[in-house]
Amino acid sequence: MALVYILNPLDAFSYSFFVRGFVVLILLSLILPVIGIRLAGKGFSMISDTLSHTSLAGIALGLVIGILPVWTSIIFSLISAFLIEIIRRKLPKHQDLALTIILAFSLGLVGILSQFAPSSNFESYLFGSPFSLKTTDLIILSVVVVVGLIYEVLFYRSNMALSYDENECKANKMPVIFLSFLDTAITSIIIAVASNMIGSLLVASFISIPVAAGLKISHSSKGSHLASVIISLISSIIGLFIAYTFSLHVGGIIVMTNILGLIICFISSSINAKKCN
């Protein structure tokens, strides 16, 4: 059976569940690396891991009380993101403590709520599966990604300025606090929705690995954005077909293909550096 899929990979598109999974991964590959570049510029990449775990707490609560988990995870992620923003401004010299505090709280809450949530449903949200998504999920994700991309384009300059020097932005009378909270809100919503689609434990990998590869092969901001998105797209598509062909877990395979892409980028960068020398 696997040989049939290898010889005729386009046959997979005759199944609606595969098409939905394919579109979902394309959308996530477009938006998550862009977020990752921005977070890396701020030196705040680990916020994606923290927010994905707070999303998991929201998912657990939604399963317990019978509400669609995507909405409770968005609410939890928003609240947590704002708390992180408040705490890091109270502790400017120890901003990473904000992530640790919220992460610890979220994991504790997950530990409590998971005892009351249906185990089979809850476990499916840990790693997720693009093949199990419904049309409603695709619509929600599409809206969130479009809004996120519009935001990234409209606020590109201000976000870049905040990443490099927040104090200079204040001196130039930019609404720093408003922009920071807006950025945090948009980021938290996207991560919450992504956590519902591909699993809370894998979101940080989707954000950080292509970004690391993109930053390695390009030293310009726009070049890094483009490289990260391309690497994420290629890894997602290859991983999706491999997972489908051999009945493997989609998220895990895509993370491994991302890692492979990162290794290739590091090797090629090292070879090019030696040639230049």
Q: Where are the domains of the chain?
A: 26-199
pLDDT at 146: 92
What 8-state DSSP symbol labels residue 215? Answer: H
Q: Is 117 helix (H, G, I), strand (E, B) or coil?
A: coil
Helices (H), 43-165: 47-65, 69-90, 96-113, 119-127, 135-154, 156-164
d(CA 193, CA 70): 6
CATH of domain 26-199: 1.10.3470.10
What 8-state DSSP symbol labels residue 116? Answer: T
Question: Phi, psi (5° rounding) for residue 169?
Answer: -65, -40
Q: At 166, is the pLDDT very low, low, confident or very high (cuts 50, 70, 90)?
A: confident
Range 107-127 average pLDDT = 77
Asked whether the predicted pLDDT for residue 61 surpasses 60, the reply is yes
Q: Lowest-pLDDT range, 55-64, 141-150, 170-179?
A: 170-179
210-249 as b/e, with b when 16 or more CB fall inside 10 Å? bbbbbbbbbeeeeebbebbbbbbbebbbbbbbbbbbeeee
What 8-state DSSP symbol labels residue 200? Answer: T
Q: Lowest-pLDDT range, 52-66, 114-128, 248-262?
A: 114-128
Identity of the highest mean pLDDT range in 28-42, 90-104, 106-120, 262-276: 28-42
pLDDT at 48: 79
**What average pLDDT does the chain have?**
82
